Amino acid sequence: MADLKNSVAITWALASAVIGLLVYKAWSWIKPRNFGHNIPPFPAPRKLLLGHLHLYTAKSELETIKALRDKAGDVFSLDLAGNLLVVVNGFENVKEVLVKRWNEAPDRPHSSVPTYIGEDNHGVVDSRGENWAQQRSTSMLILRSFGMGKNVLAEKILEEATIYTDQLASFEGNPVDIRFFTTVSIANIICSIIVGKRFDHDDPCFAQVIEIVLSIFNKAPTVALMQTIPFVRFLPGDLFGMKAFMNNLLRLNDSFSKPHIAEAKKTFDPNKDPTCYITAYLQKMQQENAK
């Protein structure tokens, strides 16, 4: 009998400890936080636990930000379930933060998305800390080199603009939805710089890539909002579209990014001028490794 009582007591003690830890962890995610006084003002009072998350329920994110900008000005803060978000509006303000004083900004926040796709703290987009600073500097040097001397950037834009106007002329003034052709042309300019080639407007594989990218952009605001509540991605179903978003990222990575990087590595010649961002990046990597 004594052994049974001891066993029950131990079980209850362990259960209580586990429940206590879970409650503490949950509360640490959602508790109201004191962000200090040296931050831009809040545009509205914060709700318990939610902060300003409730503001996103009635309108789209863009409409919400526009309305809050009218109240608080170009720069304001949001509390998203205990996570501080500073919103910067206006071209000059964004340029000041991201271009002129980028190294004074706080570190980039950690996101579960790159971890999910196996790219945590990798590359230009998903890096942070010192790695982010190095990636940014390298990317700026590469893009500036494309805009100088041979002026690769201007040549790519001019080439695609010519094809775009020829496409429009082929309709001979008949009504047509130009959104697809415009999207393909913009994507081709980016691809010409990044992977060193453009794609035909009727290329079915490229059309699928564009469809994936558009789906990613359409879901990005909702997914960014859901990043403030990380456990949402473990819930059954896909109420907020986070799983579909991540799967599309994986599809884009596997069907487009990785094959073109692999192809660039095969044909890379360090003694020749780089023809695209990938080969320029490979050249920078080789130079760094040689130091």
pLDDT of residue 228: 65
Q: Please tell me the predicted confidence (pLDDT) of residue 259.
A: 93
First to last CA, the chain: 73
CA–CA distance, 127 with 284 (Å, rounded to integer): 17
pLDDT at 261: 92
Q: Is residue 124 within 8 Å of 135, Cβ to Cβ?
A: yes
Using DSSP's 3-state secondary structure scheme, residue 84 falls into: strand
Say what the pLDDT of residue 260 is.
93
Distance CA 6, CA 13 (A): 10
**Rg from Cα positions in the chain:** 25
Please list the rounded mean pLDDT of every run of 10 residues in the chain (291 residues): 56 64 58 67 81 69 83 88 84 87 70 72 75 83 72 81 90 84 90 90 90 84 65 71 84 91 90 88 86 72
pTM of the model: 0.70
Rounded Cα gap, residues 250 and 242, in angstroms: 13
Catalogue the long-range contacts made by 217-222 (C-beta closer than 8 Å, 24 or more residues apart).
219/244, 219/245, 219/248, 220/245, 221/60, 221/61, 221/62, 222/61
Residues 6+ apart with CB under 8 A from 264: 195, 196, 276, 278, 279, 282
Q: Which residues pair with 80 in a beta bridge?
A: 51, 83
pLDDT of residue 16: 66
> Nearest 5°: CA angle at 123, between 122 and 124?
130
**Residue 207 buriedness (CB in 10 A; 0-12 / 13-18 / 19+):** middle
